[in-house]
Structure 1
């Protein structure tokens, strides 16, 4: 037997692995993955941006954001999360002649996911008893998706410089405070864009 096989045959090792797997599954059940995408103007020198402010007006656009917001709990959570992330990136908030304007939108939608290939609603293989033996069963899972869009607008040119979108499964019809921080941090974690075509 090699080292790995000998390790796995030990009762203490199996117990430790089982405990670790249990912790991993419980963590995944409570925290869904954040899907993040972004797009940007490849001609922009993002290192030139030093200051920022909130976009004075947020009209709705064809992609669903940024939309005009008011100071709801969700707006406050998003603004707090963005302010923290911008400060951590060395960008200074300035209402007078900023380099960037930041706009955002957020929404929660009811969605469905089809699970094929014999997997149940929680990712485990499913085998049902049918006529003539076993068969695979397909599932439709209903869930709520929270989406946040963040735009960086070049204040001088009045043109979109960068857009980030983050989406994650949420528990309610609104996005909770921990979920907002997690989504916003994931989105802004992709700024500045790490692309060979972008001048940084």
Structure 2
């Protein structure tokens, strides 16, 4: 699944970068003092996170060339356990102060369910794959996700697990038939 998402992210990044002046525009700060890439990194959606990584790699002087190849190479090697643990601890620290964002996670989970449905794929088969992806991605230091996005991604794992459970699976199956 990650390979499919990386290909899609590289296609989107290539399209974005094809517009004249797009590289500079992506890094310009908007009224919110954030660049377009930084805005993508505030999203809990894996697709947005991977597009942000693709855009950053495409803008790197050392990574010129085919975005799909660079993105694939970038995600070939797992981050070190120390880096992953540092991301986890950072988020767990934030969770001690504030509860996980359940509403945001449920909204993002519904967006994933809608994406799966729009691709006419079996939700009960695909959602566990997405859950597994998010279980790994929320603490992956290779993405530039903000702390809040990572917290939402972590909560999405729970939200998707619940949807995959017996009661949630029945609801999803009914939704898929509609």
Point out the structure with the larger strand share. 1
Point out the structure with the larger helix share. 2
TM-score past 0.5 threshold:
no
